[in-house]
């Protein structure tokens, strides 16, 4: 651990996309009548979109179609207090057909159960920060 405080450096969109694609898991946040909700999902990045699977009956699939969502990923080392975080925001599209529109890669489902529903987030805003020393 260090007592030295880190400085946050803004990342440009290209760096943000690269980092977002470099990790398998992120968190999607959406709005419900009972306030915001957020869950981790494994995702892939393709052509300004973030894609992940969910179950058709999940609250997520039922609520987010055509709505705005935020998708966050990070890699932060608590010991050195360095790392990065990226947030992508945009409109979600729920595809019950599995989202197979050509050669687009889809994340494998990790948890057991039927997860043929794919959420495609059409990102229109992406921001990120790197936390570093010196």
Binding site for a second copy (CB under 8 A): 5-8, 23-25, 27, 29-31, 34-40, 42, 67-72, 74, 76, 78, 81, 85, 87, 89, 109-112, 131
**Cα first-last separation, the chain:** 16
Six-digit token string for 79: 């010991």
Q: Which is nearer to a second copy, 25 or 56 (CB)?
A: 25
Closest distance to a second copy from the beta carbon of 56 (Å): 16
CA angle at residue 127 from 75 to 133, to 5 degrees? 50
User: Least distance (Å) from a second copy to the CB of residue 101?
Assistant: 24
Nearer to a second copy, 48 or 102 (CB): 48
What is d(CA 67, CA 94) in angstroms, rounded to the nearest whole number? 10
**Shortest spacing between CB 57 and a second copy, in angstroms:** 14
- CB-based contacts of 118, cutoff 8 Å, min separation 6: 51, 52, 53, 54, 94, 95, 98, 99, 106
CB closer to a second copy out of 115 and 118: 115
């Amino acid at each position: 651990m260090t007592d030295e405080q880190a400085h946050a450096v803004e990342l440009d969109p290209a760096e943000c996309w690269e980092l977002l694609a470099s990790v398998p898991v992120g968190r999607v946040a959406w709005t419900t009548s009972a306030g915001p909700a957020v869950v981790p999902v494994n995702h892939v990045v393709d052509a300004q979109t973030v894609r992940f699977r969910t179950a058709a009956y999940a609250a997520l699939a039922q609520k987010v179609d055509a709505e705005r969502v935020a998708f966050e990923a990070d890699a932060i080392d608590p010991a050195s207090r360095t790392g990065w975080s990226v947030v992508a925001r945009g409109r979600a599209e729920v595809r019950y057909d599995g989202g197979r529109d050509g050669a687009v890669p889809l994340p494998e489902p990790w948890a057991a159960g039927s997860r043929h529903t794919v959420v495609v987030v059409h990102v229109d805003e992406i921001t990120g920060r790197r936390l570093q020393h010196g």
